[in-house]
Structure 1
Amino acid sequence: MTAIRNFRRPAAIAVLGVASIGLAACSSSDSARADLAAAQVSTIGVNSYLWRASLEAVSFAPLLQADSNGGVIVTDWYANPSNPGERVKMTVSILDTDLRADALRVAASRQVNQSGAWVDAPVQAATVQKLEDIILTKARELRRQALSN
């Protein structure tokens, strides 16, 4: 009996969710357009919120490549003026037209200056994750702003 009760609750929640989607579909066409705008992109090949957020997140570094159709942003090497003995290069790939965490990939390379020569150095996984989080947070903020207008 407990198993049946445990099954009914998620089923009831799912039915309510489907019903609310049906009600939302009956709302104004502005709402439908906003929902579509939140999920898809028509002017570039990838999600526009992720694209704009990515460009903003890496704007401190010079760009080598920015391909909105392919969803690839590549920066040139950037050395923080407060730490000139270290430099980073980033690649951001947007893989989908939907605003989802798995539609974003960030890769970074790091080099340190040893006796006048740049030598590859490891990048902490937390650094890449932090940049992905910054991009996703900004993309969601851009989406909220677009939906509220």
Structure 2
Amino acid sequence: MTYGRFTAKAVILASLVALAGCSGGFGNLFGGQTETVRTADGQVIARPDRARRAPERSTIWDLFADRDDPNTTLEVNKYLWNASLDVLSFMPVEVVDPFSGVIVFGYGVPPGGGQAYRATVHVSDPALDARGLNVALQTRGGRAVSSATQHAIEDAILGRARQLRIQDYDL
């Protein structure tokens, strides 16, 4: 036997071993084991081992599979969402993305105010919590609003969200 034929046979044998490893062992590759099963009418039949339902296994390739429903991957608190729309109702809504929790408002003047503002609200948590709400405000000139004004808007949204929750559950 020449060196080339020996190498070819070794590669084929290694491939068969690798294939058997992927299938769960040599038993499944070369006929498998059987188990006896009693049917509903009392007969005993032999069923191959591979006919049993295999448990769900995960592999490295599951990282690349998109098995999640894109409509349910991110949850947004409905009370914070609706409260944001209520409190900032004086601003026109430009972009709404309920799957990522982002609402972008256009420029609007608050009642009793003279300055126009623009807001972006991000609701990032399903819990009714201040950590799940992020509000960014800016003026028409593009300058950021003071942190006191931003916190006042966040507090108004949180307060309205609590009111909506109480109203919803008749507490």
Go from structure 1 to structure 2 and tell me whether the alpha carbon gap of 1:97 and 1:75 turns closer, same or farther (over 3 Å shift).
Answer: same
Query: For residue 153 of structure 2, what is the aligned residue in structure 1?
Result: 131
Answer yes or no: is the 8 Å Cα contact 2:77–2:123 preserved in 1: yes
The counterpart of 2:138, out of the listed 97, 109, 131, is 109
Q: Deviation at 1:124? A: 1.2
Query: For residue 46 of structure 1, what is the aligned residue in structure 2?
Result: 76
Query: For residue 20 of structure 1, what is the aligned residue in structure 2?
Result: none
The counterpart of 2:164, out of the listed 136, 139, 142, is 142
Aligned length: 99
- Higher normalized helix content (fraction of residues): 1
Answer yes or no: is the 8 Å Cα contact 2:90–2:110 preserved in 1: no
Query: TM-score, structure 2 length as denominator?
Result: 0.52
Answer yes or no: is the 8 Å Cα contact 2:137–2:150 preserved in 1: yes
The counterpart of 2:92, out of the listed 58, 62, 71, is 62
Query: For residue 100 of structure 1, what is the aligned residue in structure 2?
Result: 129
Query: For residue 107 of structure 2, what is the aligned residue in structure 1?
Result: 77
Q: Secondary structure at the match of 2:107?
A: coil
Q: Deviation at 1:136? A: 0.4
Which protein is bigger by CA-based radius of gyration? 2
Answer yes or no: is the 8 Å Cα contact 2:90–2:111 preserved in 1: no
**Larger RCO (CA under 8 A, 6+ residues apart):** 1
Q: Aligned partners of 1:52, 1:141: CA distance in 2, in Å?
A: 11
Percent identical across equivalent pairs? 37
Q: Aligned partners of 2:123, 2:162: CA distance in 1, in Å?
A: 15
**CA RMSD after TM alignment:** 2.3
Query: For residue 7 of structure 2, what is the aligned residue in structure 1?
Result: none
Q: Deviation at 1:143? A: 0.9
* Equivalent position amino acid for 1:101 in 2: A
* Equivalent position amino acid for 1:61 in 2: M
Q: Deviation at 1:81? A: 8.2
Where does structure 2 lack aligned partners over 5 or more consecutive residues?
1-71
Go from structure 1 to structure 2 and tell me whether the alpha carbon gap of 1:76 and 1:146 turns closer, same or farther (over 3 Å shift).
Answer: same
